[in-house]
Structure 1
Amino acid sequence: MKDIILKAENISKQYRLGQVGTGTLSHDLNRWWHQIRGKENPYLKIGDVNDRSTKGTSDYVWALQDINFEVERGEILGIIGKNGAGKSTLLKILSRVTAPTTGNIKFGGRVASLLEVGTGFNGEMTGRENVYLNGAILGMTKKEIASKIDEIIAFSGCERYIDTPVKRYSSGMYVRLAFAVAAFLEPEILIVDEVLAVGDAEFQKKAIGKMQDISKQGGRTVLFVSHNMASIQKLCTKCILLQNGRFIMHGKTEDVINFYLSQSVLNDSEYLFNSKLPNTKIAYATKLNIEDIDGNLMNEIPIGKPWRVKIHFTVKEKIKNLIVALGISDVNEVPIRTSWSVPQDLGPGDYKASFVEEVVNFNSGQYKLIIGISRGLESIDYIDKDISLTISDIIHQQDDSVINTKSGLINNQMRIKVEKIV
């Protein structure tokens, strides 16, 4: 028999855009009139899907819709998805900060939450006083809290400032103390949002180790939201994927992360150029794709995974010594690498230039791609705007034999292969 400590059934959350509260008086009266007649809230039948990038047709939006899952005692569950997927809304509902529009949640123990910097802290009170306050909220006696307070202070690394009002703490100190309180006061269920990203690398490592300890040794349950795929991969036993407020997948962490990374949004992995310009150039780029080595469009390229950039371009008349170049820079436009094709004489037609790298050897983060087409030293087409490359911090595992046989292909100036599209 499974030991289920948390069960969410048909959880949905609806918001009215641009309004505080439930909306207009007429809407409230309409809800009341349906309620006294024993009928369903009429506004549950309307509303747009929670896609932050598009303009909707309704004043109502579903931040979450029909979410069902269960968590076993001692499990560390990761919740992943893009910004606006509904992760934080779900955690607020699980933490009882806000109520669901429909559905219910069954708990098997006390819940402690760390949703944002300073959650549950009174800024006028000292760090020590806030420890006792949070413990009391969790239902612990003063004696129980006193037995843990030395460990909490030591773990947080804020001993020098523990008797100073927390309103004078930095955001990192806030998070350190808040996490220490949540972890050491022994809730059955610990809910942690992206807030750990505020801390430094040393604290993040300590926090992840502590969450592993309380799960394995204490048998307590952790729900963890993060955009750091490496942390999710290392910490979580199972994972949930949300997209636009909907439940997409629940399963083993590795399977869910791989599925998440393989999902392609066209605008993030395929870029179209020069579609509305008159054809005044003798050669110009028309499209760029970011792909994995099998040709699948990718939003994010994991460290260690083979990847490819394809540049489609058109040549209008015969041209000598044509060169296609691909530049990579960081978000501050500091150049990192430039690769190019050998000069070629090309006739009119459509072509593609492929850049292939067997293993990502960049640090994780955001990068910019730059396209250049030239005739010798003469620039013909140059595109340096809005082409982004995301390197994920999850580590892509490969067999040693694969890495060894391909290691000779890794270098800093890989040439681009040009082929005519038939």
Structure 2
Amino acid sequence: MTVIEAENISKKYIIDHIKSNAKASTLREVVTDKLKNIFNKKTEEQVSHEEFWALKNVSFNIEQGDRVGIIGSNGAGKSTMLKILSRITEPTEGKIKIKGRVASLLEVGTGFHPELSGRENIYLNGSILGMKREEIKNHFDAIVDFAGVEKFLDTPVKRYSSGMYVRLGFAISAHLEPEILIVDEVLAVGDAEFQRKCLGKMKDASTSGRTILFVSHNLTAVQGLCNKSMYMQKGKLLEMGETNQVLATYLSHVQKTDLESSWTKPEEAPGNDKVRLKKVKLTPDYQGNLKHIDVRTSFKIQIEFWNMVDNINANISLHLNSLTGECIFNIGTPSLALRKGVIYAECEIPSDFMNDGSYSISLMIVQDKSIVIHNFGEVLVFEIEDYREGTAWYGKWPGYIRPKINFPISQLELENVS
């Protein structure tokens, strides 16, 4: 039975660009500009409008009991699609039919009232899902046990950590037995043990006929959970079908060497009102006449960003990830007192360290070593080729790293062995 039917779904947003001859540089100028914006009506010459289609003509059917993974790079339209399916926003064009009760876990704290306790929010969320009080009561102990928040059950959730938020939110959504469960990348906030519990719970839910929609950059999790997948790119559905086939198509599209991403103007670059990414460049030290990176190649990662906040202590956190979503390692610069302007950082990854495979680089700009100013996901994608000598074995070398470490072997004594 078809439980979700989408027909030519499109979602349009209007982006306003305010033209200004000069940027405010002092607090006084910022306040003055804000007051002008409130009391003075802008003319059409001051504001330009840009149409942005987050989704364009997306159609699909999902059957009861399907476990559907939704994959694609950042900006592909995955989260917008889930918001439409969850009735959080309406499509600009097209129509969608859903049969059954939907529970969504899209971002930390969705559906929670911050002033209410964990106990009260369990009953609130259950009521939103259409559950009777007796039904919620029957599942209450299982929800609390799964979330592991028993000690904080009567504490207002505004005092919960992001991990506690996610654990409780997922426990409510999974245990109150919706016919359709929608889960976004928010599970990445939880620890590894909780993620395993969530994936196991979703598998159990699907065996009872419930439908799962799961957005994740972790392709291993998608492969292990989902029998079908959707590959989205720039607001369009490129392929939907059996998970292994869709993953193969996705990887064939992204497994390419892309050694530089750069922007010439801050207003066109990714980021926010505090930081904008200017350039990320990977510079290999190629071996001889080679023009590709292999396991012997060292390479530098060079980063530039516009800092638009004066007198701020910040550092860069760099994540090197596999294309299936695992973080291979995370390194950070020292925290530095920064002024407005262009900030530069550089690190070198040594030769004979990374294994062959496809990788991506993500960056975070962090304030005071704890507050994420902005997260730049998958700013570069590149590939490392294999190279071996002095061996007759050419199977896949296991692991993500392949360090060349001194590991001597020697003969200690001679002995006759019969």
TM-score, scaled to structure 2: 0.61
The correspondence of residues 22-37 of structure 1 with structure 2, limited to 5 A, is: none
Q: Percent of aligned positions with the same letter in both sequences?
A: 49
Query: Which residue in the other structure is 1:172 paired with?
Result: 163
Query: Which residue in the other structure is 1:214 paired with?
Result: 205
CA distance in 2, matches of 1:226, 1:121: 23
Identify if the C-alpha distance between structure 1 residues 141 and 301 changes in structure 2 by more than 3 Å, giving closer, same or farther.
Answer: closer
The answer to whether the aligner puts 1:338 opposite 2:351 as a matched pair is: yes
Residue number among 146, 149, 154 corresponding to 1:163 in the alignment? 154
Identify if the C-alpha distance between structure 1 residues 82 and 285 changes in structure 2 by more than 3 Å, giving closer, same or farther.
Answer: farther
Identify if the C-alpha distance between structure 1 residues 290 and 243 changes in structure 2 by more than 3 Å, giving closer, same or farther.
Answer: farther
Query: Which residue in the other structure is 2:104 paired with?
Result: 113
Q: Where do 5+ consecutive residues of structure 1 fail to align?
A: 21-56, 273-282, 293-298, 304-327, 340-354, 369-385, 393-402, 415-422
Identify if the C-alpha distance between structure 1 residues 110 and 284 changes in structure 2 by more than 3 Å, giving closer, same or farther.
Answer: closer
Q: What amino acid is the match of 2:224?
A: K
Residue number among 143, 149, 173 corresponding to 1:152 in the alignment? 143
Identify if the C-alpha distance between structure 1 residues 176 and 330 changes in structure 2 by more than 3 Å, giving closer, same or farther.
Answer: closer
Contact 1:76 1:221 in 2 (8 A): yes
The answer to whether the aligner puts 1:186 opposite 2:177 as a matched pair is: yes
The answer to whether the aligner puts 1:204 opposite 2:195 as a matched pair is: yes
Contact 1:269 1:289 in 2 (8 A): no
The correspondence of residues 204-243 of structure 1 with structure 2, limited to 5 A, is: 204-216=195-207, 218-243=208-233
CA distance in 1, matches of 2:261, 2:122: 51
Structure 1 range deviating more: 256-265 or 243-252:
256-265
Query: Which residue in the other structure is 2:122 paired with?
Result: 131
Query: Which residue in the other structure is 2:393 paired with?
Result: 405
CA distance in 2, matches of 1:409, 1:155: 38
Query: Which residue in the other structure is 1:11 paired with?
Result: 9
Contact 1:120 1:134 in 2 (8 A): yes
Query: Which residue in the other structure is 1:79 paired with?
Result: 70
Identify if the C-alpha distance between structure 1 residues 367 and 291 changes in structure 2 by more than 3 Å, giving closer, same or farther.
Answer: farther
CA distance in 2, matches of 1:221, 1:406: 42
Identify if the C-alpha distance between structure 1 residues 183 and 329 changes in structure 2 by more than 3 Å, giving closer, same or farther.
Answer: closer
CA distance in 2, matches of 1:356, 1:181: 41
SS at match of 1:190: strand
Contact 1:302 1:391 in 2 (8 A): no
Number of aligned residue pairs: give it. 290
Query: Which residue in the other structure is 1:100 paired with?
Result: 91
Contact 2:106 2:182 in 1 (8 A): yes
Query: Which residue in the other structure is 1:70 paired with?
Result: 61
Q: What amino acid is the match of 1:102?
A: E
Contact 2:255 2:381 in 1 (8 A): no
SS at match of 2:89: coil
SS at match of 1:117: coil
CA distance in 1, matches of 2:133, 2:396: 64
CA distance in 1, matches of 2:80, 2:396: 48
The correspondence of residues 294-305 of structure 1 with structure 2, limited to 5 A, is: none
Q: What amino acid is the match of 2:227?
A: T
SS at match of 1:145: helix
Larger radius of gyration: 1
Contact 1:239 1:252 in 2 (8 A): yes
Query: Which residue in the other structure is 1:141 paired with?
Result: 132
In the TM superposition, residue 366 of structure 1 has moved relative to its aligned partner by 3.7
Query: Which residue in the other structure is 2:22 paired with?
Result: none
Q: Where do 5+ consecutive residues of structure 2 fail to align?
A: 19-47, 263-285, 296-319, 333-345, 364-377, 385-390, 406-418
Identify if the C-alpha distance between structure 1 residues 173 and 390 changes in structure 2 by more than 3 Å, giving closer, same or farther.
Answer: farther
Query: Which residue in the other structure is 1:352 paired with?
Result: none
When the two chains are superposed, the root-mean-square deviation of aligned CA atoms in Å is: 4.0
Deviations along 1:25-58, one digit per CA (max 9) or x if unpaired, are: xxxxxxxxxxxxxxxxxxxxxxxxxxxxxxxx97
Query: Which residue in the other structure is 2:252 paired with?
Result: 262
CA distance in 2, matches of 1:171, 1:152: 17
TM-score, scaled to structure 1: 0.60
Identify if the C-alpha distance between structure 1 residues 145 and 390 changes in structure 2 by more than 3 Å, giving closer, same or farther.
Answer: farther
Deviations along 1:193-251, one digit per CA (max 9) or x if unpaired, are: 010001111111100000000001x2100100011111111111100011000110001
In the TM superposition, residue 262 of structure 1 has moved relative to its aligned partner by 1.0
Contact 2:360 2:379 in 1 (8 A): no
Q: What amino acid is the match of 1:200?
A: D
Contact 1:241 1:250 in 2 (8 A): yes
